[in-house]
Every structure is written in structure tokens, then in C-alpha cells.
């Protein structure tokens, strides 16, 4: 893993000292809120419904055990004992007091972490495939490139006042687990003539105007990547609209100007700046790559894994849903569900974080990942340790066998915390999970992605869900709109709105009707919800959602 250089350390120390002084001046009354707000946002501090919120970046979702332990410590010392992992591979603390935040940032600094550029109109935390460096299907570990992008974008003098926020996601696998087509820039590692480079996608985004990104370059060699990214952001910085917040994202810039014009401008800018990079970025990348060298994978017997699988049905169920193929023989990638039925998606207590850190230390080559799906990953676990790992997880409420199933729901904090929300998300996720757990239908239903956002900004990725739920305020009541057929993978698609919204009392029965219709209509147990939807289209699902309407039409 990357460890901070002396440069990083002194930069962060001085930045934290600056923010401490800014907080002191705000409390002493020397700074007004208007003056202070942009400063706190640059350091990840929001003011939410009930309290301040500190958003800490987990670059490309990678953590070691010491960092996870520090996150636990922050939860216990400055918050109410828990933290919330988000769809952008960040962690949010919901209850810090303003006075404590500089101390929290100092604590984070000790483990090479910060909250810089987790807010504001800057390049945000770079996200990546949460299985990077471990997945059997990847071309290469993309984290060194993601780290290079982090270093380039952090405090980049030209990009501190962009027209709007800017999000970059990277995947090294043809199976896109980083939702690259829903980002301002998505990077997909591809190979050409045996060398790895990147397909560059721009102008994707969710929010009020969901759009899938478009390929601006089908192959950019690795050594050209940074100047090419700089060219894109620099073109956007000049061309992006600053007159209207809702038209300021690069997706609108691309939409209004056309991909061809943007591509021509980017190529021109790239030509002008490429020489300035002089290869120094490639030297830096080399040293970063060394720090991401794969761990020393051991070779040993995996018989105990097979034995446990054969004799313990609870372990087998967990192993069948929560494990993913690893590139090293005898290893598995473990996804630890933060979606226990009825729990808040993405929340982990300080105690749970410590347990995860401890497992990573003892059984996981000291590595952890946070997925955009709000779960925790142990990327490198030898299969002989899986029964022990499962046993520990079980004792701490972390062994839910539901990855990729109906209760593995993405939910934004919604109006339980967020000042922007128009309705709650969390209770809807809790009710769906407990309802289908009660019905004991979860495993029968199979692979299904439900994603819930509490406002049109779509932090909960509802547009790319098989079943998306958007919470709105309709005449002073919480109302939930359903979209169907979205897809967050390499076959990305924006879901289609099914019809009028449902009240908070109607939404769970509506989801139940939808699932019942799917179970009824699927060709076999192997046909997933999204496959049925693609085969049959919206009509039969709409009829299930709105039975009165369907009856009227039939009459």
C-alpha cells in the first residue's frame, strides 16, 4: 500500500494546521459563516440536518488495519460509536462537534488519511474497483494509477474552482465494478498489442440529468494518461457552465457542445501540455507501483474449506454468496456485508471496524477495501482461514449471507441525516430487507440490485439499479418513485420510470408485487430479475405495480 512521503506528510500537516486556525477564527467570530463555509467544505466538513458531518476519503477504497482501527477510534471518540460508508468509498461521521474536527483530522493524518476534496467543486476522491489487486478477471491492479491521479488532483492549482464537482473512477477489469460510465471521467483498462492502456469515458453522471459516459478515446497509453486527464479537466474548466449550477457538470458540457468538439479541444490541449509532463509522472508511478506489490501469497491445503462447506450449511450459504474468485490459487475475496437485515446499509460500529481490522491483520495480509456498494472487502483470504473468518464475523453481526441479493441494498443517508434530502431512504431499505427475510424468499429471488436515493442528486445510484427507488416530497408527504431496468456494470443502463410514486406505506407492498410478478414470469430459477425485465420489457412489471390501472385498461 502507498505510504505518505515526506512531502505528503508536511503538506497535510500544514493544511491541517491551517484548518485548525480557520475553525478557531470562526468560533472566535473573526470569520463569518459565508467566509468559513468554503473553507470547511474544502476539508470535508458539512452542516447536515442535526449536526456537522465529516466526510473522510478512502482513496480507491483501500485501507490497512491501522487505518480501519483509526476509523473505529474516531467513531467512538468523536461520534456516537459508528460511521457510515458511502457509495463514493468515503466514510461519513454524522455527529462531530465543530471544535473536535481539527483533532479528528490530526488523528487521521497519523494513519495517512484526510478529508481534503471530499466536497467542493474540485476533483473528488478517486474511486476504483473494490476487488483491484485481487480479482481473477482483472488485467492489472489499477490502484497505482488511481494513486497517481490522487496525487495529481490533490490541491491541483488549476482545478480548485471547477464549474462543479468532478468524479473519476477506474477499473482494471472488463467486468466493471466501479460504475465507470456514471462518472465525469471513467477509466477502463484495456489491452492493445499486449500493452495496457485506458479507454477514457467522459460525461457520465447520475443526479437530476442521468447520462451514461461516452468514449472520448478508445486507447490512451499509460504514459499519456495524466496529460490526457489534465487536458480534459482543463477544457471543461474553461467550457463548463458557471451560470447555472444544474448545467455545470461535464455531462452537460459534453451534451451541449457535442463529443466531437470536446474531443478536438482535448486533443489540442493535450498536444500543448504533454511535453510539460516530461516523464516525471512515470517515474513517480514506478515508485507507487512498488508499494502496491502483491502480498506473498502462501500455498497450502484448502481441504478444511471444502469440509466446512460440506458439513455446515450456514457457512456454505455465506461462502456461496459472499466469496469471489481470487487471482491467486487457494485464495478468495471475501465481501463482508454491512447489510444485516434491518440494519442501516453501510453503517459499521467502532467495535465492528476493529474486528474487521483484526481479521485483516490475522488472515488478510493487512488489507481491507470499501465498495461503492457500501460493504467491506477482505481482498486476500486463504481458503483455509475462511471457516475461522466466518466464525468471527458471525459473532459480531457481520456474517449476513446476502451479497448481490435483494437485501444488499445501496441507500444514501436520506432525510434521516442529509440536509439536501427530500425523503428518507434508510427506513425503506430496512423494511425491504426485513420483509423479504421474513418471507424467506431472498435466495429464491437471487441476484437483484435495489438502490435507493433520498433526492434527485442520486447518491444512492437509483438510476443504475435493477429496481431504483427515489424518495421525493410530494405535497408535503414522502413519496417514492420506482425505476426499472437500470444496470451499473459494463452493460450500463439508466432505469426507466415505472409510473406515479408510492407513499411510504405503499412502497413495500409495491416492491412485493413486483417481485411476485418476476417469480411468476421467470423462465427458470436461472433467469435473474434483470434478465426477465430485458426479455419482457416494462409492461408486465408496470401491471404488477399498478394493478388498478391494469384492470381499468383490461375493462
Partner 1 sequence: MPRSTHQFTPKVITANALLEGDVVYLTERDCWTRDLREAALLTDEADAELRLLQAEAQTGVVVGAYLAEMAAGTHGPEPVHFRERFRRNGPSNYLHGKQERI
Rule CB under 8 A: say whether 47 interacts with partner 1: yes
Distance from C-alpha of 210 to C-alpha of 203, rounded to nearest angstrom: 10
CA distance to 120, 154, 167, 171, 499, per residue, from 117 (Å): 7, 7, 11, 21, 38
Answer for which of 230, 366, 373, 478 binds partner 1 (CB under 8 A) is 478
Q: How far is the CB of 342 from partner 1 (least distance, A)?
A: 10
> Which CB sits closer to partner 1, 417 or 533?
417
Answer for which of 24, 97, 301, 520 binds partner 1 (CB under 8 A) is 97
CA distance to 46, 322, 434, per residue, from 404 (Å): 31, 8, 16
Looking at residues 51 to 80 of the shown chain, list those that interact with partner 1 (rule: CB under 8 A).
51-52, 80
Q: How far is the CB of 85 from partner 1 (least distance, A)?
A: 15
Distance from C-alpha of 355 to C-alpha of 71, rounded to nearest angstrom: 12
Distance from C-alpha of 515 to C-alpha of 385, rounded to nearest angstrom: 37
Rule CB under 8 A: say whether 17 interacts with partner 1: no
> Which CB sits closer to partner 1, 26 or 451?
26
Confirm if 347 and 338 have CB atoms less than 8 A apart.
Answer: yes
DSSP 59-114: GGGEEEHHHHHHHHHHHHHHSSSEEEE-TTSEEEES---GGGHHHHHHHHHHTT--
Rule CB under 8 A: say whether 26 interacts with partner 1: yes
Confirm if 367 and 295 have CB atoms less than 8 A apart.
Answer: yes
Confirm if 259 and 204 have CB atoms less than 8 A apart.
Answer: no
Q: How far is the CB of 400 from partner 1 (least distance, A)?
A: 17
Q: How far is the CB of 23 from partner 1 (least distance, A)?
A: 10
Task: From 89-97, 148-156, 240-248, 493-501, give the range in contact with partner 1 by CB under 8 A.
Answer: 89-97
> Applying CB under 8 A, what is the total number of residues that bind partner 1?
30
> Which CB sits closer to partner 1, 32 or 553?
32
Looking at residues 312 to 351 of the shown chain, list those that interact with partner 1 (rule: CB under 8 A).
344, 347
Answer for which of 1, 39, 98, 273 binds partner 1 (CB under 8 A) is 98
Q: How far is CA 23 from the centre of its chain?
A: 30
Q: What angle do CA 195, 198, 464 make, to 5 degrees?
A: 140
Answer for which of 178, 189, 233, 426 binds partner 1 (CB under 8 A) is 426
Rule CB under 8 A: say whether 453 interacts with partner 1: no
Task: From 68-76, 226-234, 292-300, 472-480, give the range in contact with partner 1 by CB under 8 A.
Answer: 472-480
Rule CB under 8 A: say whether 427 interacts with partner 1: yes
Rule CB under 8 A: say whether 49 interacts with partner 1: yes
CA distance to 19, 99, 130, 399, 539, per residue, from 105 (Å): 9, 11, 25, 31, 52
> Which CB sits closer to partner 1, 39 or 98?
98
> Which CB sits closer to partner 1, 25 or 241?
25
Residue 240 gets which letter from DSSP? S
Rule CB under 8 A: say whether 505 interacts with partner 1: no
Cell reading at 107: 488523528
Rule CB under 8 A: say whether 21 interacts with partner 1: no
Other C-beta atoms within 10 Å of 273: how many? 15
User: Which positions touch partner 1 (CB under 8 A)?
Assistant: 26-27, 29, 32-33, 47-52, 80, 94-95, 97-99, 344, 347, 415-417, 424, 426-427, 430, 473, 476-478
Amino acid at each position: 500500500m502507498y505510504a505518505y512521503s515526506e512531502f505528503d506528510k508536511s503538506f497535510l500537516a500544514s493544511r491541517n494546521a491551517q484548518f485548525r486556525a480557520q475553525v478557531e477564527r470562526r468560533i472566535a467570530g473573526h470569520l463569518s459563516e459565508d467566509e468559513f463555509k468554503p473553507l470547511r467544505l474544502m476539508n470535508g466538513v458539512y452542516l447536515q440536518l442535526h449536526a456537522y458531518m465529516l466526510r473522510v476519503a478512502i482513496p480507491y477504497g483501500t485501507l490497512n488495519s491501522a487505518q480501519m482501527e483509526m476509523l473505529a477510534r474516531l467513531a467512538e471518540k468523536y461520534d456516537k460509536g459508528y460511521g457510515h460508508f458511502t457509495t463514493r468509498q468515503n466514510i461519513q461521521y454524522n455527529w462531530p462537534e465543530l471544535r473536535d474536527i481539527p483533532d479528528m483530522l490530526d488523528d487521521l493524518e497519523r494513519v495517512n488519511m484526510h478529508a481534503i476534496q471530499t466536497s467542493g467543486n474540485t476533483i473528488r476522491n478517486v474511486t476504483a474497483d473494490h476487488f483491484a489487486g485481487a480479482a481473477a478477471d482483472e488485467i492489472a491492479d489499477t490502484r497505482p494509477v488511481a494513486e497517481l491521479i490522487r496525487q495529481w488532483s490533490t490541491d491541483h492549482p488549476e482545478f480548485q474552482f471547477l464549474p462543479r464537482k468532478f468524479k473519476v473512477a477506474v477499473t482494471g477489469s472488463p467486468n466493471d465494478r466501479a460504475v465507470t460510465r456514471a462518472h465525469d471521467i471513467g477509466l477502463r483498462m484495456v489491452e492493445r498489442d499486449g500493452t495496457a492502456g485506458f479507454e477514457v469515458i467522459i460525461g457520465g453522471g447520475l443526479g437530476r440529468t442521468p447520462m451514461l459516459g461516452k468514449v472520448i478515446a478508445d486507447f490512451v497509453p499509460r504514459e499519456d494518461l495524466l496529460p490526457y486527464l489534465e487536458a480534459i479537466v482543463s477544457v471543461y474548466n474553461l467550457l463548463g457552465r458557471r451560470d447555472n449550477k444544474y448545467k455545470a457538470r461535464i455531462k452537460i458540457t459534453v451534451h451541449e457542445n457535442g463529443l466531437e468538439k470536446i474531443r478536438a479541444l482535448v486533443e489540442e490541449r493535450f498536444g500543448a501540455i504533454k511535453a510539460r509532463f516530461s516523464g516525471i509522472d512515470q517515474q513517480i508511478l514506478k515508485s507507487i507501483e512498488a508499494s502496491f506489490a502483491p502480498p506473498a501469497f502462501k500455498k497450502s491445503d484448502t481441504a478444511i474449506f471444502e469440509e466446512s462447506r460440506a458439513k455446515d450449511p450456514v457457512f456454505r450459504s455465506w461462502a456461496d454468496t459472499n466469496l469471489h474468485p481470487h487471482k491467486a490459487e487457494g485464495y478468495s475475496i471475501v465481501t463482508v456485508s454491512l447489510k444485516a437485515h434491518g440494519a442501516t446499509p453501510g453503517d459499521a460500529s467502532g467495535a465492528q471496524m476493529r474486528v474487521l481490522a483484526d481479521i485483516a491483520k490475522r488472515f488478510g495480509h493487512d488489507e481491507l477495501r470499501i465498495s461503492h456498494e457500501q460493504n467491506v472487502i477482505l481482498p486476500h483470504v486463504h481458503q483455509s482461514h475462511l471457516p475461522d473468518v466466518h466464525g468471527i464475523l458471525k459473532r459480531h453481526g457481520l456474517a449476513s449471507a446476502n451479497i448481490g441479493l435483494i437485501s444488499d441494498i445501496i441507500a444514501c443517508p436520506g432525510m434521516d441525516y442529509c440536509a439536501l434530502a427530500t425523503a428518507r431512504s434508510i427506513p425503506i431499505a430496512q423494511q425491504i430487507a426485513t420483509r423479504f427475510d421474513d418471507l424467506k424468499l431472498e435466495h429464491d429471488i437471487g441476484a437483484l440490485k435495489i438502490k435507493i436515493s433520498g433526492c434527485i442528486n442520486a447518491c444512492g445510484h437509483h438510476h443504475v439499479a435493477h429496481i431504483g427507488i427515489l424518495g421525493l416530497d410530494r405535497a408535503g408527504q414522502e413519496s417514492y418513485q420506482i425505476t426499472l431496468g437500470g444496470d451499473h456494470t459494463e452493460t450500463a443502463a439508466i432505469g426507466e420510470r415505472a409510473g406515479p410514486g408510492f407513499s411510504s406505506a405503499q412502497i413495500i407492498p409495491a416492491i412485493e408485487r413486483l417481485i411476485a410478478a418476476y417469480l411468476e414470469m421467470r423462465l427458470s430459477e436461472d433467469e435473474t430479475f434483470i434478465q426477465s425485465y430485458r426479455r419482457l420489457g416494462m409492461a408486465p412489471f408496470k401491471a404488477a405495480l399498478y394493478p388498478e390501472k391494469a384492470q381499468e385498461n383490461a375493462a
